[in-house]
Each structure stands twice: as structure tokens, then as C-alpha cells.
């Protein structure tokens, strides 16, 4: 039973670390009209042709949440929606220049906070942590 307890303690610790990171990043990004979720969405739409359904599946959000976030980003002129030329039921989401600028600021802020948080770890500890994350993530697929 001790191993289970140790694992539970590690998972709880990891959860607290993640939530503290998310809170700090969101606190910094609020001045830019962004959050980690909005940053992830903007990043996603820079990499490929993306629909609201793609975002929903990637983020694990409800359809309503995705529409709300996309509406907010569109209102802030960080993205725009365009009708698919081949399927009138589908609208694709594209990042605007303003969205790219805000994403760049958000990614820099995120990196600074991550670098500060992980600065205490040695290169070997970082590599081991990376390996553990890859193993656990691959197990989920």
C-alpha cells in the first residue's frame, strides 16, 4: 500500500504545481486579454487549417465553451472565422496579425515563468522528468 500512497502524493504534488503555474501564467496574461487556454487555441490555429470541432477535440472543452472563447478572441480581433469553400456547415478559424502579436507575447511570458519554475532542476533531473512525462503520455494514447 505504500507505493500507492507515494504515487498519490506525487500526483497531488504535480497537480498543485500545474495549478500554481496556470494561475501565475493566467495572472500575467490577463493584461493582454489572454489566458493559457486562449494561448493554446491561438497556437493551434497557427499550425493548420482548424475548425471549432478541431479545437473542441484538442482542448477537451464543450462546444459551448469553445464558441464562447472563439467569440471573445474574434471580438478582440485575434482571430477570424471563414466559411469552408467546400462545406457550408464548416467554418475555419484563422489567426490575425494582432493574434500573432499577442501569441508571441503570451509565449514569451509563459517561457519566462516556466524557466523560473524549472531553474531549480539540474539538466539530468529535467531529462528524467521529460522521460517520465513521455512514458505517461504515451500510455494515455
Domain at 94, CATH number: 1.10.10.10
Q: What's the chain's average pLDDT?
A: 91
How much is the average pLDDT of 129-134? 93
Is it the case that residue 107 has pLDDT exceeding 90? yes
Q: Which three cell numbers stand for residue 14?
A: 504535480
Give the Cα separation of 112 and 101 in Å (integer): 17
**pLDDT the model gives residue 31:** 85
Reported pTM: 0.81
Give the Cα separation of 109 and 60 in Å (integer): 24
Give the Cα separation of 9 and 15 in Å (integer): 10
How much is the average pLDDT of 62-74? 95
Closest of 99, 68, 94 to residue 82, by C-alpha: 94
Give the Cα separation of 62 and 76 in Å (integer): 21
Contact, 52 vs 91, CB < 8 A?
yes
Query: Which residues form the domain of 22?
Result: 2-140
At which residue does the C-alpha cell 503520455 appear? 137
Q: Which of 83-92, 94-103, 127-136 has the lowest mean pLDDT?
A: 83-92
**pLDDT the model gives residue 140:** 77
Contacts of 103 (CB under 8 A, 6+ apart): 39, 42, 43, 46, 78, 95
Distance between alpha carbon 28 and the CA centroid of its chain, in Å?
Answer: 15
**How many domains would you assign to the chain?**
1
DSSP β-bridge partners for residue 92: 51, 82
How much is the average pLDDT of 92-96? 95
What pLDDT digit, counting tens, does each position of 31-62 carry? 888 999 999 999 999 988 899 999 999 999 99
Amino acid at each position: 500500500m505504500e507505493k500507492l500512497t507515494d504515487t498519490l502524493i506525487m500526483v497531488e504534488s504535480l497537480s498543485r504545481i500545474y495549478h500554481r503555474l496556470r494561475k501565475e501564467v493566467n495572472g500575467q496574461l490577463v493584461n493582454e486579454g489572454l489566458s493559457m487556454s486562449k494561448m493554446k487555441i491561438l497556437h493551434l490555429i497557427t499550425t493548420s487549417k482548424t475548425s471549432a470541432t478541431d479545437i473542441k477535440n484538442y482542448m477537451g472543452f464543450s462546444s459551448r465553451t469553445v464558441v464562447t472563447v472563439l467569440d471573445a478572441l474574434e471580438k478582440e480581433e485575434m482571430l477570424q472565422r471563414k466559411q469552408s469553400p467546400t462545406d457550408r456547415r464548416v467554418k475555419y478559424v484563422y489567426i490575425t496579425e494582432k493574434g500573432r502579436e499577442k501569441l508571441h507575447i503570451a509565449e514569451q511570458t509563459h517561457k519566462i515563468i516556466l524557466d523560473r519554475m524549472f531553474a531549480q532542476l539540474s539538466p539530468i533531473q529535467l531529462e528524467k522528468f521529460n522521460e517520465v512525462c513521455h512514458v505517461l503520455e504515451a500510455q494515455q494514447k
